[in-house]
Structure 1
Amino acid sequence: MPTPATPQPGAPVDPYRAYHFKLLINGITNGHFTEVSGLEMTIGRLSYREAGNDRVRSVPGQVDYAPVTLHFGLTPSRELWDWVHGAATGAVSRRNVSVVLLDAAGTAEVLRWNLINAWPMRWRGAHLHTLSQEIAIVALTLAYEGLELEDGSAAASTTA
């Protein structure tokens, strides 16, 4: 018998909010990020035709993970810059990065995407303008080798 917290088929379920999240790099909360974009996985399709048959069949092929771009406010911290600069000078440091989605109150973890063996592939500086009153936002794009999804209860038990 399902627990009361388990959604029932056909029962309405409120979707998660996209504005409460944090980023962990090697298990440590890192910076205040304003946007994460590009969480995407594509499974290639390989087509083949069986001998003596005119039907074309397909099977799953190679998995491709799209780069993820992180936007964050520019601060005196050099940690992310040093990571990018290391990769630019040939000292690539692969790190496990987690994008953690929080509940509507911003207090409890509900989902976690783990980017396995991520490394910086692009850095874009803040748009500077003398008449602007906006926060200076920097963008960092990461390549990675694998993507895992954990629900909040599993992720909370692994970090406790």
Structure 2
Amino acid sequence: MPNDLINTDPIVAQNFFLAIDGEQLLLSGVSGLDLELDVVTIQQNGPSGKKQAIKTLGNSLKVPDISMTRMAPMDAMNDPIWKWFHAVRDEGFSGTKREGSRKNGSIVLYDTAFTEIGRFNFFNGWPSKISTDGLSTDSNDPVKETVTLIIERLERIK
């Protein structure tokens, strides 16, 4: 059996963070890093009268929502995500330009030596929802919150 079946270490799914506006925000979970092409199905009859289904590439890339989990900040009003959420909620998207409350950023992956090994860039994102975990007197778990980012494009560049 050859020894070169796996010639690199796997990406460990615990070393990552959100990079946005020059800040690095720690996360405890991320989902929605899906890159999916649109598929168009065409049904037609073949020469013998049998139905055939043909699948082909559509004209768009499906864009996911990114869901990020993190420890709830002690001071939400000074937290960058909460400030961003309040700006979107209070000011909306006004004017003729699409800048402002929409931001570009990255989910950055590291190996165990903390060398960057992966990067998902998102474009024109904005927080649509912040959910705080349920609270209970019988729990010793830290309070977490889940942030939903609406994005217009996602690319894995590394």
TM-score per shorter chain, which class? Answer: 0.7 to 0.9
Residues 15-94 of structure 1: pairs in structure 2 closer than 5 A: 15-30=10-25, 32-48=26-42, 55-61=52-58, 62-75=60-73, 76=75, 77-92=78-93, 93-94=101-102
Residue 28 (structure 1) shift: 2.1
Identical counterparts, % of pairs: 27
Following TM superposition, by how much is the alpha carbon of 1:133 offset from its aligned partner in structure 2, in angstroms?
1.1
Cα distance, 1:50 vs structure 2? 7.8
Query: Where does residue 157 of structure 1 map in the other structure?
Result: none
SS state of the match for residue 145, structure 2? strand
Alignment of 1:1-160 (within 5 A): 11-12=5-6, 13-30=8-25, 32-48=26-42, 55-61=52-58, 62-75=60-73, 76=75, 77-92=78-93, 93-105=101-113, 107-151=114-158
Structure 1 regions of 5+ residues with no counterpart? Answer: 1-9, 152-160
Aligned-pair CA distance for 1:46: 1.6
Amino acid of the residue matched to residue 149 of structure 1? R
- Which has more radius of gyration? 2
Could you list the runs of 5+ residues in structure 2 that have no partner in the other structure?
94-100
Deviation at 1:81, TM superposition (A): 1.1
Distance (Å, rounded) in 2 between the aligned partners of 1:79 and 1:94: 14
1:57 maps to amino acid:
I
Size of the aligned set, in residue pairs, is: 140
Question: How much is the aligned-residue C-alpha RMSD, in angstroms?
Answer: 2.2
Distance across 2 between alignment mates of 1:110 and 1:57: 38
TM-score (normalizing by structure 2) = 0.77
Q: Is residue 35–residue 155 contact of structure 2 (8 Å, CA) maintained in 1? A: no
